[in-house]
Structure formats: structure tokens, C-alpha cells
């Protein structure tokens, strides 16, 4: 279809068409095909092949025979690449002197100036087609007689000049937002004005606000949204209770992290008279409060997800709902949407029911409390917890046997003081209690997706799936080549069978290269996204999967609640169209990626803050990346990543061996590979540039 659309616009370059008009021209009548058409129109617009004015699409005449794409700047402006969508053309290398007035992420036009021997084509940027960033976050500084903003993101390689008349009261050292940015000549710095003061650089509040602005995260709720949330009462009308399955007398409880504020899932288990088990997964019924067309709904749609910055949550919903009325706190009546699944003692699914329910949680457990109960064999609700753990372990074993991939990706947990300063960093330990809840949530998500799939002789209805595509062949071939350098074998032609991935991960388990192999494997994978087109979930090995279990913090889950309830009630007349759902899926996937990037940055900044008092100390780490200018080291205890610059390795002249993922000394032949364990000394921490530098110690 994409080729058909491109051919049509090339043959009719002057036509300006709405998507529905184009559908008629191409004789597209089916609703699913029309959703695909919309998807490809959006993609072709992003690629620069089409332009869009209002709702009309037209062939981009300026793009014809020109090299246009997003710019990716490397190493603080030392050089960059223009990423082209055409797979037949390699990315265009741009030397620092030829970046002209472009920033990282800008859509730019390049012309070829040379071909680097054996490497990428080389070019020069001749035009900025579209600026990615309208605002830049940074720290206000002064040099002699002029002020400038030093960007927080080191990919923004030039400081922003600020006239003294455009400071709006900002002081040197303040974290600020620069806007109205103009950059007219590469020999001069960009100019702008201060549009917001976030606070004193280094303060916790300023850093959180800085991350929020940098990633376009809405930090505060409007009065209209807050007023709407405040209008709800905790009291549940009797008529609402009458219309629901009443489970308030059941033993239901929550299991969450110690610092959790919102509890959107609870679990239960009981033995039925026939000897089978009935497992309950009870999810907060946010859809009862957040209705389509309301201020709350539009705000949740816009945010897409809650964002978990270290020490702070930027929630999708106001606190009145997220931490109170919708949250499944103990000993309070709460509205829920429940999946009740019946299993045999051998944990074979016999049947399930999906109901709107009302519950009263009997206990709020932390993961550590549940783990202690499992290990000691006693404690509150031991019988239920032990039985749920047995069910969970059996489900997990069956899932892994069917081809689910168990990636190992360590995370850190911070202990902060009252000022938000990190005083301790630990590696998060995944224990039985975590797996217990994870498996039950996977079960509920799978049951919901299975329930709505088309039955015999029934038309499928628009729905939101969580999908994970097959790995990219080129990336998998590269991955196979990488693990071969470590002495492992992986057949890239077998990658479509996820069991082969798990066999390799089992082989490296416990080895020093386990973390790096897992990390490179994850990078080789497609990203999981939301979609109306069910292609299955490769990583989990599921043919049908969705997100249903976290409606307090994920907008797609809220949509799934609405869709599944309408389906159960056989009330689909007012359902969202396939086109509307696809737009929601694209938006939610983009917001999720944005949130993940913001969360990663917040972790990185706290790691940097923790290490700044430890300059001169020695650490153990692993080589996590290799480039022509240095090697990246990930520290074992904090997972902080820093750089050993090749110019600082003065025992030899080191060369980059891209093919073998290593560097080697020209004289002594010493080789350092991706995945090697090393000892390093911390020599520099730059909070403003967000950089950590090490030097290599002799073994």
C-alpha cells in the first residue's frame, strides 16, 4: 500500500487530498485498509515524502532527488549523520564544520561533498527543513559581557546567546528555558530569550522541572481538570453496587513496591467445591470516573502515561483519583473490573469470567513482606499467597516452555535524603514476590485479548493490542556476529523462533558477559507498541495480548476497559472507530517512548549526582560500548555509565576494530572487547554536560 500511495502522488504531484478522498481514488473501502492508509500517510509525511496542510496531503516537491532526514549529532557536535529513510542509501556523514545552523533532531537537507574511503557518504547541511526543538533547557551562565544558556542536553552542541534585556529576572546558575531561538549564521551562536525560570541549578525541584520541560511532559494539572477530579466522592451509590458483582467479603489484597502511592491491581484465590482454583485479578475501574469527552479524559489522553522520575511521579491522573478514589487502598469499598479465572490443580485454564465488581482490599502488602512470608512459611494470608505463588511459578514455566523470552535487564533503586540527594544506590532484586504479580497480570492481559478476538462467523471489532514484532533481520545478523566474538553461536535465520533466543540467554546466565549480551539482544529487538492490528507479542510468545491492568497510569489500559465492557454488554454502536483507535495507539506509543527516555535521564542524573563526591575512587565495571573515540564503562554497583577516552589511554595508541567490537593497541596488541570486565578510576564528573569520565587501571 505504501508503494501504491507513493506512486499515486508522484503521478499527481499537484493534487492536495484528504485521507478519505485518497481512499476513494485508490478504491479502499475496507475499514482496516483505511486505517493502514492513514498510518502510511502519517509515516510518509514524517519521512518528508508528503507535506500536510490542515487535513490535506500533497507530494513534497522539495524532497524530490534531495537528501532529507533527521540529523543525529554525535559526541557534542564533533560530527553527525543525516538518517535517510531510503534503505538503498546509507546515512550521510556530516563533519562538525559542515553542520551549519542545525541542531540534533532537526529535519535537514544535505548535499553530497565526498565519499569517505570505505565508509559512509559525506555531506554538508544546506537547509534546516524543520526545527525539532522550539525550546531548550539549560543553565544560565555569563562570560565577560554576555549571557548564554548552556544546554542540558549535550547533543545541543552550541550555547544559546541571551541579551541582557531578555533575562526576565533569571540569575547566573539558574535552570532556565530558552525560547524564540534563531540561528542565522554558523559562525555566530544561536540567540534566544528566557521564557521560564525553573529554579536554582542542582536543586531537586529544578532538575525535575528541567526533565519535564526537556521532554514536553505536562507537569501541572489545569484548574478545570482539578475541579473535575474534586467533584467525585468516595461514597459509592447503592444503585452502582447493585449493578456489580459484590466481592467485598472475599480475601483480596494488593502487593506493590514499598513506595507505591497508587494501587491499581489486587489479587485473590480460593479453592472451589470441585477442587479447582479460582484466581481473581481485580483492576481499578478508572473508566467509571474518567468518561469520554470530559476534561479528565482529554488530559489523560494527552499525557498518555504516568512518568516515574526518580523521587517524583508525574501522574496521568490527579492525585484525588490516582492515590485515593481509584486506588485499591485497604478497608475501603472500591470499584473494579475483575477477571476471574478457574484452573485445575495442574494449573490448566478451564474457564474465565469478566465482571464489573466492587471489592474491599483486606491488606496492603509490599513485595518484601510477601517474600518474607514465602520464605518463612507463615504470616498474614500465607495459604493464599503460597497458592498464588505456586500458580504463578507454573504459569511462568509454561510460558517459558512455549517460547517466552526472559530478558535480564538490571535496574537501580535510589535512597534519597530529604532534599532529594541520592545517598545510596542498589541493584533492584527481582524475587518470587515480583514474579507472582507479574504472571497474574500477564494472565489477565492475555485473557482480555483472547476474549475479544474474532470468533467463528463473527466480525472482528476495533481493539487496542500490545504487540511486539519479529526482530529486524539486519540487527539480528549483527547480534549473531557479536555473540560469535564472545564464543557463542546464534543462527540469525532461527530468530523468528523466540525459543532460540532463550537458549542463548540461558547459556550466558551467570557469566560475566550476561548483562551485555542481554542488552545487545534487547537493542536488536523491535519495540513493543500499541496497535489495532494484532500481530502477536514476539517477546512474550503470545498470539493475543493487550494492556488491561494499569488504567491509573496508562491510557491504553483505560481504553481497553471501555472497549471490553462495551463488547461484553454487546453495545458497540458508540465505539471508537478503527481510525480513532489507531491514532490513540500511535500517540500512546510515542508518549510511552518519551516517558522512558525521561525516566532514563532522571536515573542518569541521580547517578551523576551520587558519583560527583567520589572522584578519584576506583570501581569495577564492564565494557558496555565501543566507539572510535573511546569505550563506555558501566559500573557494577551503580550501573552508572561513563567514558574512557582513547586520548586518555597513554600506554599505547589504540585503534577501533568495529568488526570485532573491540579496540586494540597498535604496539602491544592489547585488545579490549565489548563485555570485558575492567577496573577504572573516576577522574571527572560534569553535571552540566551530564558526563562521567574514567581512566583504565592496570589489571
Q: Does domain 615-696 have CATH number 1.10.10.10?
A: no
Whole-number pLDDT of residue 580:
92
**Grid cell digits, residue 414:** 535510589
- 51 near 595, Cβ under 8 Å? no
| CB neighbours of residue 617 within 10 Å | 10
Percent of the chain clearing pLDDT 90 (strictly above): 60
Q: Given CA atoms 451, 340, 304, 333 in this order, what sign does their dihedral have?
A: positive
Query: Whole-number mean pLDDT of the chain?
Result: 90
pLDDT computed for residue 87 by the predictor: 60
Residues of the chain with CATH 2.40.50.140: 615-696
| In the block, residue with C-alpha cell 463473527 | 458
Q: May I ask the CATH class of domain 136-201?
A: mainly beta
Position 119 scores a pLDDT of: 57
Q: How confident is the model at residue 133 (pLDDT cuts 50, 70, 90)?
A: confident
Query: What is the DSSP track for 29-66?
Result: -SHHHHHHHHHHHHHHHHTTSEEEETTEEEE-GGGTTS
Element (H or E) spanning 129, and its range?
Answer: strand 121-130
Q: State residue 368's pLDDT score.
A: 95
Among 115, 132, 121, 62, CA closest to 88: 121
How many Cβ atoms sit within 10 Å of the Cβ of residue 493?
11
Say whether pLDDT at 29 is over 60: yes
Q: Tens of pLDDT along 469-480?
A: 988 888 888 888
Residues of the chain with CATH 2.40.50.700: 66-130, 136-201
Check residue 575 and give its pLDDT.
Answer: 80
pLDDT tens-digit map of 72-100: 998 778 899 998 876 666 788 899 999 99
Whether pLDDT at 125 is above 60 = yes
Tell me the per-residue pLDDT of 231-286, one tens digit each, with 9 for 90 and over. 999 999 999 999 999 999 999 999 999 988 899 999 999 999 999 999 999 999 99
Amino acid 357: pLDDT: 98
If pLDDT is split at 50, 70 and 90, which confidence band does 321 have?
A: very high
Domain with CATH 1.10.10 in the chain: 2-62
Contact 267, 252 (CB under 8 A): yes
Q: Which of 270-274, 481-485, 582-586, 606-610 has the lowest mean pLDDT?
A: 481-485
Q: What's the pLDDT band for 132 if we cut at 50, 70, 90?
A: confident
CB distance 641 to 623 below 8 Å: no
Query: Which of the residue ranges 46-60, 213-227, 355-369, 650-664 would you say has the lowest mean pLDDT?
Result: 46-60
Q: Which three cell numbers stand for residue 355?
A: 465482571
- Residues sharing a CB contact under 8 Å with residue 358, sequence separation 6 or more, in sequence order: 236, 240, 241, 244, 245, 246, 247, 248, 333, 334, 335, 336
Residues 186-203 have a mean pLDDT of: 91
Strand segments, DSSP code E, in 134-264 are: 136-143, 146-151, 160-162, 174-182, 191-200, 245-246, 253-256
Q: Where residue 64 falls among pLDDT bands split at 50, 70, 90? A: very low
Check whether 426 has a pLDDT greater than 80: yes
Range 308-328 burial, b when 16+ CB lie within 10 A, else e:
bbbbbbbbbbbbbbbbbbbbb
CATH architecture group of domain 66-130: Beta Barrel (2.40)
Q: What is residue 88's predicted lDDT score, i.e. its pLDDT?
A: 60
State yes or no: pLDDT of 36 exceeds 90: no
Task: Tell me the whole-structure pTM to 2 decimals.
Answer: 0.83
Place of cell 586520548: 647
pLDDT over 80 at 439, yes or no: yes
- Mind listing the pLDDT tens digit for each residue in 355-411? 999 999 999 999 999 999 999 999 999 999 999 999 999 999 999 998 898 887 789
CATH class of domain segment(s) 2-62: mainly alpha
Amino acid at each position: 500500500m505504501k508503494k501504491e500511495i507513493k506512486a499515486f502522488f508522484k503521478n499527481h504531484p499537484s493534487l492536495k487530498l484528504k485521507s478519505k478522498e485518497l481512499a476513494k481514488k485508490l478504491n479502499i473501502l475496507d475499514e482496516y485498509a483505511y486505517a493502514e492508509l492513514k498510518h502510511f500517510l502519517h509515516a510518509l509525511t514524517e519521512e518528508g515524502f508528503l507535506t500536510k496542510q490542515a487535513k490535506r496531503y500533497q507530494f513534497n516537491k522539495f524532497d524530490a532527488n534531495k537528501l532529507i532526514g533527521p540529523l543525529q549529532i554525535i559526541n557534542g557536535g564533533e560530527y553527525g549523520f543525516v538518517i535517510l529513510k531510503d534503505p538503498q542509501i546509507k546515512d550521510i556523514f556530516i563533519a562538525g564544520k559542515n553542520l551549519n545552523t542545525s541542531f540534533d533532531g532537526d529535519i535537514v537537507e544535505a548535499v553530497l561533498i565526498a565519499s569517505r574511503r570505505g565508509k559512509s557518504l559525506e555531506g554538508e547541511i544546506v537547509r534546516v527543513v524543520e526545527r525539532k526543538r522550539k525550546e531548550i533547557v539549560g543553565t544560565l551562565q555569563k562570560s565577560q559581557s554576555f549571557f548564554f544558556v548552556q544546554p542540558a542536553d549535550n547533543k545541543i552542541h552550541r550555547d544559546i546567546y541571551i541579551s541582557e534585556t531578555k533575562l526576565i529576572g533569571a540569575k547566573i546558575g539558574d535552570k532556565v528555558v530558552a525560547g524564540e531561538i534563531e540561528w542565522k549564521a554558523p559562525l555566530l551562536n544561536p540567540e534566544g530569550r528566557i521564557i521560564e525560570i525553573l529554579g536554582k541549578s542542582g536543586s531537586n525541584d529544578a532538575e525535575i522541572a528541567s526533565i519535564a520541560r526537556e521532554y514536553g511532559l505536562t507537569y501541572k494539572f489545569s484548574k478545570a481538570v482539578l475541579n473535575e477530579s474534586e467533584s467525585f466522592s468516595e461514597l459509592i451509590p447503592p444503585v452502582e453496587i447493585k449493578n456489580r458483582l459484590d466481592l467485598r467479603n472475599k480475601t483480596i489484597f494488593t502487593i506493590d513496591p514499598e513506595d507505591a502511592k497508587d494501587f491499581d491491581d489486587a489479587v485473590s484465590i480460593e479453592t472451589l467445591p470441585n477442587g479447582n482454583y479460582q484466581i481473581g485479578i481485580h483492576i481499578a475501574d478508572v473508566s467509571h470516573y474518567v468518561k469520554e469527552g470530559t476534561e479528565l479524559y482529554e488530559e489523560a489522553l494527552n499525557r498518555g502515561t504516568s512518568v516515574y522520575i526518580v523521587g517524583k511521579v508525574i501522574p496521568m491522573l490527579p492525585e484525588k483519583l490516582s492515590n485515593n478514589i481509584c486506588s485499591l487502598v485497604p478497608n475501603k469499598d472500591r470499584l473494579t473490573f475483575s477477571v476471574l479465572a478457574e484452573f485445575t490443580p495442574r494449573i490448566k485454564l478451564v474457564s474465565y469470567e469478566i465482571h464489573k465488581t466492587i471489592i474491599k482490599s483486606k491488606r496492603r502488602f509490599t513485595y518484601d513482606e510477601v517474600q518474607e512470608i514465602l520464605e518463612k512459611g507463615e504470616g498474614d494470608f500465607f495459604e493464599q499467597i503460597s497458592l498464588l505463588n505456586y500458580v504463578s511459578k507454573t504459569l511462568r514455566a509454561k510460558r517459558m516452555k512455549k517460547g517466552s523470552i526472559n530478558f535480564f535487564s538490571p535496574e537501580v533503586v535510589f535512597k534519597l535524603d530529604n532534599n532529594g540527594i541520592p545517598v545510596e544506590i542498589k541493584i533492584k532484586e527481582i524475587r518470587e514476590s515480583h514474579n507472582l504479580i507479574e504472571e497474574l497480570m500477564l494472565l489477565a492481559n492475555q485473557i482480555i485479548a483472547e476474549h475479544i478476538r474474532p470468533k467463528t462467523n463473527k466480525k472482528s471489532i476495533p481493539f487496542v493490542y500490545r504487540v511486539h514484532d519479529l526482530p529486524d533481520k539486519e540487527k539480528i545478523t549483527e547480534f549473531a556476529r557479536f555473540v560469535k566474538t564472545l564464543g557463542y553461536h546464534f543462527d540469525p535465520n532461527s530468530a523468528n523462533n523466540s525459543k532460540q533466543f532463550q537458549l542463548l540467554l540461558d547459556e550466558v546466565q551467570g557469566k560475566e558477559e550476561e548483562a551485555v549480551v542481554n542488552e545487545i539482544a534487547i537493542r536488536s529487538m523491535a519495540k513493543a507498541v500499541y496497535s489495532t492490528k494484532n500481530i502477536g507479542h514476539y517477546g512474550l510468545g503470545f498470539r493475543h495480548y493487550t494492556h488491561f491492568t494499569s488504567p491509573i497510569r496508562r491510557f491504553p489500559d483505560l481504553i481497553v476497559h471501555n472497549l471490553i465492557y462495551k463488547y461484553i454488554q454487546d453495545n458497540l454502536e458508540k465505539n471508537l472507530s478503527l481510525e480513532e483507535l489507531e491514532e490513540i495507539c500511535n500517540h500512546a506509543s510515542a508518549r510511552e517512548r518519551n516517558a522512558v527516555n525521561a525516566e532514563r535521564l532522571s536515573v542518569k542524573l541521580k547517578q551523576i549526582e551520587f558519583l560527583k563526591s567520589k572522584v578519584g575512587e576506583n570501581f569495577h565495571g564492564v565494557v558496555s560500548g565501543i566507539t572510535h573515540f573511546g569505550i563506555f564503562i558501566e559500573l557494577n554497583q551503580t550501573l552508572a555509565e561513563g567514558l574512557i577516552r582513547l586520548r586518555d589511554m597513554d600506554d599505547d595508541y589504540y585503534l577501533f576494530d568495529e568488526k570485532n567490537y573491540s579496540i586494540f593497541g597498535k604496539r602491544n596488541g592489547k585488545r579490549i572487547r565489548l563485555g570485558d570486565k575492567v577496573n577504572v578510576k573516576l577522574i571527572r564528573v560534569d553535571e552540566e554536560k551530564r558526563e562521567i569520565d574514567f581512566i583504565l587501571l592496570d589489571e
